[in-house]
Structure 1
């Protein structure tokens, strides 16, 4: 009496499978969310690590002053970690903010566009090739 084999439900996917599925689905995100996930988050993580290391080594006030450019990175005790923080405050953070604002502005422009670009180009091409009426100027 062996009977029919019992059918077990499939095992839930493991952490590796879930992470792979999540990573592969990133292209389904809208442009701003994809940019934030793939570009902004790594830059912010590096920035937070730099700021934390500087805060612990030279003090939080000096780290803030180096970040904002109030104080030179050469004036603090741990120059080796103050210079990357200074560069991040001078170049990386403004670029990050500019990229974020650029994506927001682009999204607003595309949301208010009533005609597709291909339609506009076709209309301009049609107007450029059709003969104008005499005296229409």
Structure 2
């Protein structure tokens, strides 16, 4: 008869790539919707805009780069227009979309948090709040 409490199975050695991928997937699964979008979806666009901003700033100048990004100056008149045009497009399209996406996720989170209460729970909470206010002011609810 064999001993069921024999030696433990050998520990599996995973490659660093497999461990990193597993860590990445675990982090992805544990984040909320907003953080998931921010960390795993939008970081490429943020990096792309940041690189273009830094490239423009080194060739055109910090002030002119900012002016082009916010739309106060035309990229056509910049010293390096091929660097300034993508920055101008980012300023008109990507940055407002990014801000709208952030606002959308924040508002959605707030709505879902309040929507999780059932109608009966909300009515009971409202009745409790009215009862407490009535007792504070000496009146009957």
Settle same-fold status: TM greater than 0.5: yes
Q: CA deviation at 1:64?
A: 0.5
Paired residues, what number?
109
Q: CA deviation at 1:11?
A: 7.9
Q: 5+ residue gaps in structure 1?
A: 1-6, 117-137
Q: CA deviation at 1:101?
A: 0.7
**1:33 match:** 35
Q: 5+ residue gaps in structure 2?
A: 1-7, 120-141
**1:51 match:** 53
What CA distance in whole angstroms lies between the structure 2 residues aligned with 1:56 and 1:13?
43
Q: Is 70-79 or 36-45 further displaced after alignment?
A: 36-45
**1:93 match:** 95
Q: CA deviation at 1:14?
A: 4.8
Structure 1 residue runs of 4+, over 4 Å off?
9-14
**2:85 match:** 83
Q: Is 82-91 or 107-116 further displaced after alignment?
A: 107-116
What CA distance in whole angstroms lies between the structure 2 residues aligned with 1:80 and 1:52?
14
**2:112 match:** 110
More contact order relative to length (CA 8 Å, sep ≥ 6): 1
What CA distance in whole angstroms lies between the structure 2 residues aligned with 1:15 and 1:56?
37
**1:15 match:** 16
What CA distance in whole angstroms lies between the structure 1 residues aligned with 2:36 and 2:110?
17
Q: Normalising by the residue count of structure 1, what TM-score does the alignment of the two structures yield?
A: 0.71
Q: Normalising by the residue count of structure 2, what TM-score does the alignment of the two structures yield?
A: 0.69
